[in-house]
Structure formats: C-alpha cells, structure tokens
Amino acid sequence: MSTQEPNVRLSRRALMAGAFCAAATGQGARAAGEFAGKTITIIVGFPPGGGVDTGARLMAKHLPRFLDGAPGIVIQNMPGAGGVTAADHLFTRAARDGLTLGVPGRDWPLVPVLDQRGGRYEPLEFEYIGSTGQVNTFVWLSKALGLETPEAFRASARQVVFGGLTPDTQPSMVPKILGLNGFPVKAVSGYRGTADIVNAIEKGEVDAIATNAASFARRPDMIEKTVRIFQLLPSREPVPLAADFVAPESRNLLQLTGYASATGMPLVAPPKAPPERVAALAAAFAKMARDPEFASDAEKLGEPHGEPIEGARIRQILAETIKAATPDVLATFRKLSSQSN
C-alpha cells in the first residue's frame, strides 16, 4: 500500500495539472474568440463620402470592440442603382460565411417588389443583423417661402420645387405623393445626393427636400434656414404627421416610400449565412448601438444611436409593408416613380 501511495499522489498532481492546462486552454480559446484573426468585409452600396458610406464606416470602427476576437473590418464600396448593385452581389455572389456583410443603403430592400432598378434578390431572405435605429424623414421647406404650416403650404399660389435623387427614391416620391393631395409641388430628380440638394436650397435652385436630419450633417447652418412642415413617422418631435394631410389611399403610398425611415440603414448578411455567426454579429451590433463611445461619434454625424432595431423587427416591417402593397397601390407607386419631374 505504502509503495503505491507516491504514484497515487503523482496521479492526482498530474490530473490537477492537466485540468489546469485544459482550463487555461479553454480560456485562451475564448480570449481568441470566434472572429480572431479574421477579416470582415462590409460592402457599401454608395460611393465614399456620402451618408450611407459614413454610417457604414462608423459601424466598421466600433463593431470589432464587441465581437469575440476583435476582427478587422474593411469597407468595399460597390455603388450602383441606389444600392441595388451591392444587394444583388450579396444575394447572388458573396460568400455565405458570416464574414461578408453589407450596407447597401436605406431604400433597397423592396426594389424587386416595386419592380424598380432591376433588383434580382428576395428581400426577406437576407439575414438582417440590425439597424442603429429609425431615421425619420422630414419635409423641409426653405424659410424664404414664408410657408410655416401645412395649410399655408397647400394654399400656396407658388409651386414649391423639391430636389430629388432617382425618380423612385424617397426624396422624389414624397413630394409626388403630396402633389396627389393638393399640394403645389414639383419634384426635380437627378441630384447625386441629399447633400447636393441642401446646397441647392441655399442657392435658390430648389425650395425643399424630403430627407432625414443626417443630410444636414455637413451643413447644420442650413437647418436654421428651413422649416419642417411634415414628418413621416410618429415621434416626440412637434411636427405634423404627413399621413394626417393626405387621403387614405395615399397613406399606403407613404408607408411604401417611408419604410426606409422605419428600418433605418440595416447591416445584412447574405442568405443562409451561418446562424451562430449571425447571432454573434446581432448581439455585438446591439451592444455597439447602445455604447457611449459609439453614441458620441454618431451624434456628430447625425446618425441614430441608443435604440437599435433588431433584425427580426426589420424583417417584420418589410413583410408588413409588402402585405400592404396591394396591386392598386403598387400601380400608383410605379406610375409616380416613372415620372422624372
């Protein structure tokens, strides 16, 4: 018995040492993390320098801090057709490994439903990771018009000229919908970005814009030279709701053009990306959007923060919007979107 005791002690020590090494190895694996040594690519559907690119780079800066393994993130700009080129690439060609993500823009998801710009993807099949929050759209009129209320706007003897982007995007569609409801408007499409329209208001080329506050990030002085006549989404802001000043059939049109405000600017993965990675990305994204450092940078850029939208909620909003898009609503929407001016 006594001759075997040292071996018993040695065995116990070996077991304890082995257990310690296993624990240390496990801790090292956890420290290394799921994304350690990997690089995430975010494909952006607009050129560098614009609002979508700025928002995507903000995500790329802060998201690694919340991912296990702190991966590198690179931005790949793939502009074209208002985000559709990037969305098509993500849907049909991008790697489905959870390391290739996308921020195509704001109003790209329902392009195939609306039969616009040649989108070939199924919007509800993407993996929606999250959005930093709603980006409410306001109708901003130049104060030089002297129109301070919706009633004065509707009664104006002068036509109010809105600057727009492509004919089917929100800045162009909102004034067209208002025009159906007795407001004296004209939508001039063709501006490259909302920042260009803001500058055009200053120059007197146009009178108004339908957009979010982030469009004024580089020209905050112009906010003082405009008045917000309408908002598209209900909020705590003391601004009239556009839906209260249009006919019932036009409310579905506003919903169809306003879903991009309700969903914000989603970060997405291609369909059938690994569920565990999508879940890890979604959890990290939600933490990032509530983080004080992120909030500080977002505030400077006019980006939302503090109230992120989960991927499941984004998909729900899209599904509800698709359901409300009856054939009559779609026909009217397509007719309006085909109007260049």
The SS3 of residue 226 is strand
User: Does the domain made of 39-133+264-307 have the CATH classification 3.40.190.10?
Assistant: no
Looking up tokens 């929407």 gives 333
The number of C-alpha atoms within 13 Å of 175 and in the hemisphere containing its C-beta is 30
pLDDT in single tens digits along all 341 residues of the chain: 444 433 433 344 443 344 434 443 433 333 358 899 999 999 999 888 777 898 999 999 999 999 999 999 999 999 988 899 999 999 999 999 999 999 999 889 988 988 767 788 999 999 999 999 998 899 999 999 999 999 999 999 999 999 998 888 889 999 999 999 999 999 998 887 888 899 999 999 999 999 988 788 778 899 999 999 999 999 889 999 999 999 998 998 998 888 888 899 999 999 999 999 999 999 999 999 999 999 999 988 878 999 999 999 999 999 998 988 889 988 998 899 888 76
CA-to-CA distance for 81 and 90, rounded, in angstroms? Answer: 14
- The fold of the 138-260 domain, in CATH, is D-Maltodextrin-Binding Protein; domain 2 (3.40.190)
On whether the CB atoms of residues 131 and 263 are closer than 8 A, the answer is yes
Q: Where are the alpha helices (DSSP H) in 169-310?
A: 170-180, 194-203, 248-263, 275-289, 292-301
Residue range(s) of every CATH 3.40.190.150 domain in the chain: 39-133+264-307
Residue range(s) of every CATH 3.40.190.10 domain in the chain: 138-260
